[in-house]
Amino acid sequence: MAIEGPYGTFTHHARSTDRVALIGAGVGITPLRALLEDLPESVAVTVVVRASTPEDIVHRDEVAALVAQRGGEFHEVIGSRHHVSLDARALRKLVPDIARRDVYVCGPDAFSRKVMASARRLGVRRDRLHHEAFAF
């Protein structure tokens, strides 16, 4: 088995606004954690993480601490993916100004596709939608 990634331009340099939403699930939370450390302090941050249980959130305490240190918002979406999803309605509730943010998404393919499609429906421009993928 070969593992590739992450790849792409999943850095703060791709950002065009001073507000970001970082949305991740599974091991996809790891690059979000790194991005949190790399973002300029002046950037307003909202982080949304998705997991089946609170114990499944990768780097939970570290991410929550980094967000708190910046004065940002940290949201956990917990539950079975069949019962709790990050559709457009949920994203609008968690990140009301999402259309004015750069949005970074990283997680399993189905999760990422759904979040990106929802973000687009909420008005996020393509050039402000950043996605990282892991290929196995």
Q: What is the tens place of the pLDDT at every residue in 2-16? A: 444 444 466 666 788
Tell me, yes or no, whether 72 lies in a domain.
yes
Q: Is the peptide bond before 6 cis (omega within 30 degrees of 0)?
A: yes
DSSP 76-94: EEES-TTT----HHHHHHH
Tell me, yes or no, whether 102 lies in a domain.
yes
For the domain that residue 23 is a member of, what is the CATH number?
A: 3.40.50.80
Q: Give the CA dihedral 23, 109, 83, 56, nearest 10 degrees.
A: -60
Cα distance between residue 96 and residue 21, in whole Å: 11
Tell me, yes or no, whether 68 lies in a domain.
yes
Tell me, yes or no, whether 1 lies in a domain.
no
Tell me, yes or no, whether 5 lies in a domain.
no
Highest mean pLDDT out of 22-31, 78-87, 89-98: 89-98
Q: What is the pLDDT of residue 83?
A: 86
